[in-house]
Chain A
Amino acid sequence: MNLDWLLTETKDYLRDGQDVILRVTGNSMLPYLRSGKDLVVLSPIQPADLKAGKIVLFQREEKIVCHRIIGRQGELFVIQGDGVLRNKDFVPESDIFAAVHKIVRPNGKEVSTDSIPAKCYWFFWRAISPFRRVVLGVLRLILN
């Protein structure tokens, strides 16, 4: 089976108003989400989700990407992974189809992305932006 069906199925369930659980692959959301370990609970996108700090799911060509909205430029949302240093995506609202409200950690614990610790993390991570390269380098060393 290839991954196209996963995208199609996920979108279908979301369109039906159902939440969908996916496993995180790739480390572009480090340190918040770890590849192969954390699960994200996706909910159909609501207008209130389209704001800076929200982790959303969008389509980039044939792939689905789960990154954080960091701002807005005209009609487009500026989206970047926490673990990404430079690349940003400029995405129209129509390509964003889900928001992450909950994360399931490997021990089964569900944590809200709207909680105070989650907001503190985001505030801190944004504040140390110039040093991200160093922090991410150390994290990748530890994780490998």
Chain B
Amino acid sequence: MKLKKSAVLKDIAGEKVVIIQGKTGVDMTKIISFNPVAAWLWSEFFGDTDFSEADVAQKIVRQYGLEQSRAEEDAAKWLAQLKDAKLIEE
């Protein structure tokens, strides 16, 4: 999977948010707010390279030294939120 290309991570008023710049225009009606970890993951995986849920878990283990099972849970949660917000391109 890939992160939506037209979505841009921005720093607005001290918060990390994702804004979608679609065909019709910059969509200010669906701004998604990220916590610092979610924002960090976004910047790590944003780009043209495909990644999997396992890649996300591995990244979390490396950065935060979490147990594998806990990291997998967090990765799944992050991806589920992105899917809900339609920020994933399969």
Contacts and interface: CB of A to CB of B under 8 A. Distances in A.
B25 A21 contact: yes
Interface in A1-20: 1-2, 4-6, 9-10, 13, 18-20
**Interface size band for A:** 20 to 34
Contacts of B24: 19, 21, 41, 102, 104, 110
Interface of A: 1-2, 4-6, 9-10, 13, 18-23, 39, 41-43, 102, 104, 110
24 contacts: A1-B12, A1-B13, A1-B33, A2-B13, A6-B28, A9-B12, A13-B26, A18-B25, A18-B26, A20-B28, A21-B22, A21-B24, A21-B26, A21-B27, A21-B28, A22-B28, A22-B29, A39-B29, A41-B24, A41-B25, A43-B25, A102-B24, A104-B24, A110-B24
